[in-house]
Amino acid sequence: MKTMELRRVPYGTTFTAFGDQFVALDYIGGGVLAIRKETWKNVAFDSNGVNDLRSASIGQALEDYLNTLKDGGAKISDILNMTIDLKATDGTREYGFHETKIGLLTLEQYGKYQHIIPDVEECWWLATPWRTPGEKCGNSASAWLVYSGGDAYDYNCSYTGYYLRPALMDTPDQVGISRTPRPIFKGGRIPSNFCAWEKDKHIALTLAAVVPPAVSGAERMRGSPARAKRRASELPGVTNGL
Protein backbone atom coordinates (compact mmCIF):
# COMPACT_ATOMS: atom_id res chain seq x y z
CA MET A 1 0.00 0.00 0.00
CA LYS A 2 1.34 3.44 -0.97
CA THR A 3 2.18 6.08 1.61
CA MET A 4 2.72 9.82 1.73
CA GLU A 5 4.46 12.09 4.21
CA LEU A 6 1.98 14.11 6.25
CA ARG A 7 3.64 17.43 5.45
CA ARG A 8 3.27 16.70 1.75
CA VAL A 9 -0.48 16.36 2.03
CA PRO A 10 -2.21 19.18 0.09
CA TYR A 11 -4.57 21.36 2.08
CA GLY A 12 -8.16 20.31 1.56
CA THR A 13 -7.14 16.67 1.17
CA THR A 14 -8.81 13.82 3.04
CA PHE A 15 -6.47 11.37 4.75
CA THR A 16 -6.88 8.32 6.96
CA ALA A 17 -5.15 7.92 10.33
CA PHE A 18 -5.94 5.90 13.46
CA GLY A 19 -8.88 4.28 11.70
CA ASP A 20 -10.64 7.57 10.95
CA GLN A 21 -10.78 10.16 8.15
CA PHE A 22 -9.65 13.78 8.43
CA VAL A 23 -9.26 16.82 6.16
CA ALA A 24 -5.87 18.60 6.22
CA LEU A 25 -6.33 22.34 6.75
CA ASP A 26 -2.95 23.89 7.53
CA TYR A 27 0.60 23.33 8.76
CA ILE A 28 1.09 24.98 12.16
CA GLY A 29 3.95 24.63 14.61
CA GLY A 30 5.20 21.21 13.58
CA GLY A 31 1.85 19.52 12.96
CA VAL A 32 -1.00 19.51 10.48
CA LEU A 33 -4.24 21.10 11.66
CA ALA A 34 -7.02 18.74 10.62
CA ILE A 35 -10.74 18.32 11.12
CA ARG A 36 -12.74 15.10 11.08
CA LYS A 37 -14.28 14.56 7.67
CA GLU A 38 -17.69 13.82 9.23
CA THR A 39 -19.33 14.79 12.50
CA TRP A 40 -18.83 12.31 15.31
CA LYS A 41 -21.43 12.61 18.06
CA ASN A 42 -24.73 14.34 18.81
CA VAL A 43 -24.03 16.49 21.86
CA ALA A 44 -24.84 19.83 23.52
CA PHE A 45 -22.05 22.38 23.78
CA ASP A 46 -22.72 22.50 27.50
CA SER A 47 -25.52 20.85 29.48
CA ASN A 48 -25.78 23.96 31.69
CA GLY A 49 -25.90 26.35 28.74
CA VAL A 50 -22.49 28.00 29.27
CA ASN A 51 -20.36 28.86 26.21
CA ASP A 52 -16.93 28.57 27.85
CA LEU A 53 -15.12 25.65 26.20
CA ARG A 54 -12.69 25.41 29.10
CA SER A 55 -15.43 24.02 31.35
CA ALA A 56 -18.18 23.00 28.89
CA SER A 57 -19.56 19.46 29.01
CA ILE A 58 -18.59 18.97 25.35
CA GLY A 59 -15.05 18.62 26.70
CA GLN A 60 -15.91 15.13 27.95
CA ALA A 61 -17.07 14.14 24.46
CA LEU A 62 -13.78 15.46 23.06
CA GLU A 63 -11.91 13.32 25.58
CA ASP A 64 -14.01 10.31 24.57
CA TYR A 65 -13.03 10.90 20.95
CA LEU A 66 -9.35 11.02 21.88
CA ASN A 67 -9.79 7.60 23.49
CA THR A 68 -11.27 6.21 20.26
CA LEU A 69 -8.17 7.41 18.40
CA LYS A 70 -5.99 5.67 20.98
CA ASP A 71 -8.01 2.52 20.40
CA GLY A 72 -7.23 2.99 16.69
CA GLY A 73 -3.50 2.98 17.38
CA ALA A 74 -2.74 6.63 18.14
CA LYS A 75 0.07 7.33 20.58
CA ILE A 76 -0.17 10.45 22.70
CA SER A 77 2.87 11.82 20.82
CA ASP A 78 1.00 11.52 17.51
CA ILE A 79 -1.37 14.32 18.51
CA LEU A 80 0.10 17.69 19.46
CA ASN A 81 -1.44 20.09 21.94
CA MET A 82 -3.52 22.76 20.21
CA THR A 83 -4.22 26.19 21.66
CA ILE A 84 -7.73 27.47 20.97
CA ASP A 85 -8.40 31.21 21.04
CA LEU A 86 -11.73 31.67 22.85
CA LYS A 87 -12.16 35.22 21.57
CA ALA A 88 -15.82 36.25 21.50
CA THR A 89 -17.60 37.65 18.44
CA ASP A 90 -16.70 41.26 19.30
CA GLY A 91 -13.04 40.40 19.93
CA THR A 92 -13.04 40.34 23.73
CA ARG A 93 -11.02 37.56 25.35
CA GLU A 94 -12.66 37.08 28.72
CA TYR A 95 -12.18 33.32 28.40
CA GLY A 96 -8.59 33.58 27.22
CA PHE A 97 -7.12 30.47 25.57
CA HIS A 98 -7.70 26.75 25.96
CA GLU A 99 -5.04 24.09 25.43
CA THR A 100 -6.17 20.59 24.54
CA LYS A 101 -5.37 17.52 22.45
CA ILE A 102 -8.77 17.42 20.71
CA GLY A 103 -10.72 20.62 20.17
CA LEU A 104 -13.12 22.56 17.97
CA LEU A 105 -12.39 25.04 15.21
CA THR A 106 -13.01 28.69 16.02
CA LEU A 107 -15.28 30.93 13.95
CA GLU A 108 -12.20 32.67 12.55
CA GLN A 109 -10.62 29.36 11.54
CA TYR A 110 -13.83 28.23 9.90
CA GLY A 111 -13.90 31.46 7.89
CA LYS A 112 -10.31 30.85 6.80
CA TYR A 113 -10.73 27.20 5.79
CA GLN A 114 -14.42 27.02 4.81
CA HIS A 115 -13.72 26.44 1.11
CA ILE A 116 -11.73 23.27 1.81
CA ILE A 117 -13.93 21.87 4.59
CA PRO A 118 -16.49 19.44 3.16
CA ASP A 119 -20.11 20.17 4.06
CA VAL A 120 -21.89 17.55 6.19
CA GLU A 121 -25.57 16.82 6.77
CA GLU A 122 -25.53 17.78 10.44
CA CYS A 123 -24.95 21.13 12.17
CA TRP A 124 -21.73 21.21 14.21
CA TRP A 125 -20.34 23.33 17.03
CA LEU A 126 -17.47 25.83 16.87
CA ALA A 127 -15.42 26.92 19.87
CA THR A 128 -16.26 30.64 19.62
CA PRO A 129 -18.69 32.17 22.16
CA TRP A 130 -21.35 34.55 20.83
CA ARG A 131 -20.75 36.88 23.78
CA THR A 132 -19.24 36.54 27.25
CA PRO A 133 -20.69 37.62 30.64
CA GLY A 134 -18.33 40.55 31.20
CA GLU A 135 -19.31 42.40 28.00
CA LYS A 136 -21.61 45.44 28.12
CA CYS A 137 -24.40 43.38 26.54
CA GLY A 138 -22.89 40.11 27.65
CA ASN A 139 -24.32 36.66 28.14
CA SER A 140 -22.89 33.17 28.22
CA ALA A 141 -25.75 31.20 26.69
CA SER A 142 -24.80 30.95 22.99
CA ALA A 143 -21.93 29.65 20.89
CA TRP A 144 -21.28 29.63 17.16
CA LEU A 145 -22.03 26.63 14.95
CA VAL A 146 -22.04 25.67 11.27
CA TYR A 147 -25.23 24.60 9.51
CA SER A 148 -25.34 21.82 6.94
CA GLY A 149 -25.16 24.30 4.05
CA GLY A 150 -22.00 25.90 5.44
CA ASP A 151 -23.51 29.05 7.00
CA ALA A 152 -22.44 29.99 10.54
CA TYR A 153 -24.90 31.09 13.24
CA ASP A 154 -25.05 31.24 17.03
CA TYR A 155 -27.36 29.08 19.13
CA ASN A 156 -28.10 28.14 22.72
CA CYS A 157 -25.34 25.94 24.14
CA SER A 158 -27.70 23.55 25.93
CA TYR A 159 -29.39 22.43 22.70
CA THR A 160 -28.71 18.74 22.03
CA GLY A 161 -29.63 18.65 18.34
CA TYR A 162 -26.16 19.62 17.08
CA TYR A 163 -22.98 17.65 16.64
CA LEU A 164 -19.33 17.43 17.57
CA ARG A 165 -16.77 17.66 14.74
CA PRO A 166 -13.34 17.22 16.32
CA ALA A 167 -10.25 19.15 15.25
CA LEU A 168 -6.67 18.22 16.12
CA MET A 169 -2.99 18.80 15.38
CA ASP A 170 -1.89 15.59 13.70
CA THR A 171 1.56 13.96 13.38
CA PRO A 172 0.80 10.26 12.77
CA ASP A 173 3.07 7.40 11.72
CA GLN A 174 3.09 5.85 8.28
CA VAL A 175 -0.19 4.48 6.90
CA GLY A 176 -1.34 3.52 3.42
CA ILE A 177 -3.25 5.25 0.63
CA SER A 178 -6.77 3.88 0.66
CA ARG A 179 -7.94 4.71 -2.88
CA THR A 180 -7.22 6.74 -6.01
CA PRO A 181 -6.70 10.43 -5.06
CA ARG A 182 -9.07 13.04 -6.52
CA PRO A 183 -9.24 16.83 -5.97
CA ILE A 184 -11.95 18.61 -3.99
CA PHE A 185 -13.95 21.24 -5.86
CA LYS A 186 -16.05 23.44 -3.62
CA GLY A 187 -17.49 26.92 -3.83
CA GLY A 188 -15.94 27.49 -7.25
CA ARG A 189 -12.46 26.85 -5.86
CA ILE A 190 -9.96 24.05 -5.84
CA PRO A 191 -7.52 23.28 -3.03
CA SER A 192 -4.12 24.90 -3.13
CA ASN A 193 -1.36 22.82 -4.69
CA PHE A 194 0.87 23.89 -1.82
CA CYS A 195 1.29 21.07 0.64
CA ALA A 196 2.04 21.02 4.31
CA TRP A 197 5.73 20.81 5.08
CA GLU A 198 7.84 18.03 3.61
CA LYS A 199 9.39 16.10 6.50
CA ASP A 200 6.78 14.44 8.64
CA LYS A 201 5.34 10.97 9.14
CA HIS A 202 2.97 9.34 6.70
CA ILE A 203 -0.79 9.30 6.26
CA ALA A 204 -3.26 7.79 3.81
CA LEU A 205 -4.59 9.97 1.00
CA THR A 206 -8.07 9.88 -0.44
CA LEU A 207 -7.77 13.16 -2.35
CA ALA A 208 -4.96 15.02 -4.09
CA ALA A 209 -4.12 18.54 -5.23
CA VAL A 210 -3.98 19.76 -8.78
CA VAL A 211 -0.39 19.57 -10.00
CA PRO A 212 0.84 22.49 -12.15
CA PRO A 213 2.43 21.71 -15.53
CA ALA A 214 6.17 21.20 -15.61
CA VAL A 215 8.31 24.15 -16.69
CA SER A 216 11.76 23.65 -18.20
CA GLY A 217 14.83 24.97 -16.46
CA ALA A 218 15.43 27.47 -19.26
CA GLU A 219 11.89 28.86 -18.95
CA ARG A 220 12.28 29.38 -15.22
CA MET A 221 14.93 32.02 -15.90
CA ARG A 222 13.39 35.46 -16.12
CA GLY A 223 13.86 36.84 -19.60
CA SER A 224 15.25 33.57 -20.96
CA PRO A 225 15.05 33.12 -24.78
CA ALA A 226 12.82 30.06 -24.42
CA ARG A 227 10.34 31.91 -22.24
CA ALA A 228 10.40 35.03 -24.38
CA LYS A 229 9.83 32.97 -27.52
CA ARG A 230 6.83 31.27 -25.99
CA ARG A 231 5.33 34.57 -24.88
CA ALA A 232 5.81 36.08 -28.30
CA SER A 233 4.14 33.16 -30.03
CA GLU A 234 1.05 33.68 -27.83
CA LEU A 235 0.57 37.30 -28.94
CA PRO A 236 -2.17 37.99 -31.53
CA GLY A 237 -0.77 38.23 -35.05
CA VAL A 238 2.66 36.89 -34.14
CA THR A 239 3.61 33.89 -36.27
CA ASN A 240 7.40 33.88 -36.02
CA GLY A 241 9.60 33.39 -32.99
CA LEU A 242 12.17 35.90 -31.79
Pairing of strands 41-42, 202-205: unpaired
Rounded to 5 degrees, what are φ and ψ at 111?
-60, -35
How many C-beta atoms lie closer than 10 Å to residue 163's C-beta?
20
Say which residue, 204 or 122, is predicted with more confidence. Answer: 122
Question: 78-94 in b/e burial notation, b at 16+ Cβ within 10 A?
Answer: bbbebebebbbeeebeb
- Please state, as a whole number, how many other Cβ atoms lie within 10 Å of the Cβ of residue 234: 8
**Residues β-bridged to residue 203:** 4
Task: Please give the pLDDT value at position 2.
Answer: 59
CB atoms within 10 A of CB 145: 24
> Which tens digits make up the pLDDT trace of 174-199?
434 344 343 333 333 333 333 333 33
Report the alpha-carbon distance of residue 116 to residue 24 in Å, rounded: 9
Predicted TM-score of the model (pTM): 0.73
